[in-house]
Amino acid sequence: MARIITRLREWRQIEADLRHMRTAPSELEFWRQAQQIAALGSQVVPVIVGNLDRADARLLAAMGAVAALLDREEVVAALRQAILEPQRSDQGRMAAMSILERFLGQPPADELLASLRDPEGAALRSLEEVLDRAAGAPTLWIEYIQGLDRQEPDVVLSVVRALRQMGSERAVEPLRLIAQDVRGELAAAALQALGTFRLPQAGWALQTLLPIVHPELRPTAERALRKLRFAGVAVEPLPAPDPGWRALVGPVESSGQRSLWFLQPNRRTAQVRFLNVLLTDQAGAIEAVGQAQVPAWMLPPSRPVGSLHDLPLPDGSGALLMAEAPFDLGRRLVVEALAYNRQTQIPVAGVLRLLSPWLWGYGGADSLPPVVLPDPGMEAEALVAVSDRLLDHPAFLTWTVRSQALFRAAEESRRYPGWDREVWVRRVAGDLFSDPAVRQVVSRRLVAMSEWLLLTGDEPMARLALATARAIGQAAASDLPFLQALVRRDLEAVWRGIKEGTEPFFGLEIESGV
């Protein structure tokens, strides 16, 4: 009996600590408390499972943070089992799925999704809960909208109908978020619902959505906005962008990823509004982090457009190269990335959807700057001949073609006596870039790099990148100095690793075009 009482006390204490995390005054304190709870180990897992059915959004975030610090196999198995328990409520099942996907990187399998008995009812109950709490904690909408991203369209449409019937100011924010869904029918339904609200807030929401909805849905958004104006709703023009807004743009990596920062200083408080978006030309705007107040001293100072910032990474593993850019150039890059989200049907990052008014609550979105590229001139062939010089630029430091195929080729080459390294470089380059689709991907990324280099004022390198991009689609891969140099650099690194007995690094699978 004493052991049972002790376990009950421990259970209650862990519950109390989890609930205390909801009031953590800062992100740092939140994670400090999570680490303290996770240090208790396996005894935390049943507490998390036991609170799934009654966890609100804040408690769910605390439980997820702790789960991410526990033994991965143990907590994943426990959550999957919890989803399949017949007595588990739909709210509890959805909570477990949310922790699995958001904090543990484990998308729920079909059999787990099929275990939901009433997904529409669960979504509507969650909606009521978030509506009650989101006024004081708007970030709760991120968790809710990410949950809707995993639901079938019928479930989301039932939520839109419920919000439309509500017809109050509280319904505007969730409809604005659903209108950014990559599924066109859901975005259209949310836009149409906003057009029925005789509220200035609905008009403002529609204005912020116009630049970022699918081009085919723009007439729907415009009609909804006209309906409000005809009904006498005051829809004021959006203001011009705050001149304090800045953008910092990172170079494109060989994977197609780049970092994009937006910063808006508040000189009265010495704080900065900060939004960091990860863009990729394979999926779109897939991740984002936003903070309304970051101390100005923690971020790079403002410099003239084109200036480079060499920012050390927190873990000391290197530096992040970022170029000072106009706010509208950053906005254009976001618009381009959103097109990839719609193409791949990968949801837009929840933080970006919530904070999109930071970017689109201003006018001028109809006249964003076009792509500006250098003129390669008449010496394109001569430029291609020295295209290997691109790898001398620090922005190309992260470019790699390391893969299983490259490592196999490096091992195979050492089995031949008197092997010629340059022969193997040409062979591997020809193999890796034989697919026209792969060369097209690399060409597109080099064009983006050309624009970035021109922004930084390095026109010679910008011309070199553009000439190389255009040549990749025309010449044999094994004959292009840039591709040869890229392969040579990685082969030499793998050869050194084999000689030293270190574990090989596998990076970009260039064969797949990813």
pLDDT of residue 90: 73
Contact predicate 173/158, CB 8 Å: no
pTM to 2 decimals? 0.78
pLDDT of residue 52: 86
How much of the chain exceeds pLDDT 70, in percent? 89
pLDDT of residue 338: 97
- Residue stretches of the chain with pLDDT short of 70: 1-9, 85-87, 108-119, 122, 314-318, 378, 417-418, 475-478, 501-514
Residue 285: strand pairing partners: 279
pLDDT of residue 26: 73
Question: Of 222, 172, 219, 236, which Cα lies nearest the Cα of 198?
Answer: 172
Q: What is the dihedral of CA 183, 188, 189, 191, to 10 degrees?
A: 130
Question: Of 281, 237, 242, which Cα lies nearest the Cα of 258?
Answer: 281
- Cβ within 8 Å of residue 324, ≥6 positions away: 246, 247, 248, 302, 303, 304, 305, 306, 307, 308, 309
Residue 198: strand pairing partners: none
Write the CA distances from 46 to 8, 51, 78, 286, 363, integer angstroms. Answer: 12, 9, 8, 32, 51
Q: In the structure encoding, which two tokens stand for residue 59, read together? A: 């408690």
The beta-carbon contacts of 27-33 under 8 Å, at least 24 apart in sequence, are: 30/62, 30/65, 31/65
pLDDT of residue 225: 94
pLDDT of residue 2: 43
pLDDT of residue 58: 79
pLDDT of residue 316: 60
DSSP code at position 290: E
Question: Of 214, 337, 137, 162, which Cα lies nearest the Cα of 175?
Answer: 162
- Cβ within 8 Å of residue 32, ≥6 positions away: none
User: 3-state class of 259 per DSSP?
Assistant: strand
Question: Of 514, 493, 510, which Cα lies nearest the Cα of 432?
Answer: 510
d(CA 317, CA 49): 37
pLDDT of residue 370: 95
Q: In the structure encoding, which two tokens stand for residue 123, read together? A: 């979504």
pLDDT of residue 192: 96
Q: In the structure encoding, which two tokens stand for residue 156, read together? A: 């989301």
Cα 427 to chain centroid, rounded: 36
For 466, list phi and psi in degrees, rounded to 5: -70, -45
**Alpha helices in 109-199, H assignment, sequence order:** 110-113, 119-133, 140-149, 153-166, 172-178, 184-194
pLDDT of residue 110: 58
HSE-up (13 A, CA, CB side) for residue 324: 15
327-353 burial: b if 16+ Cβ within 10 Å, else e: bbbbbbbbebbbebbbeeebbbbbbbb
Angle, CA of 82, 86 and 90, to the nearest 5°: 70
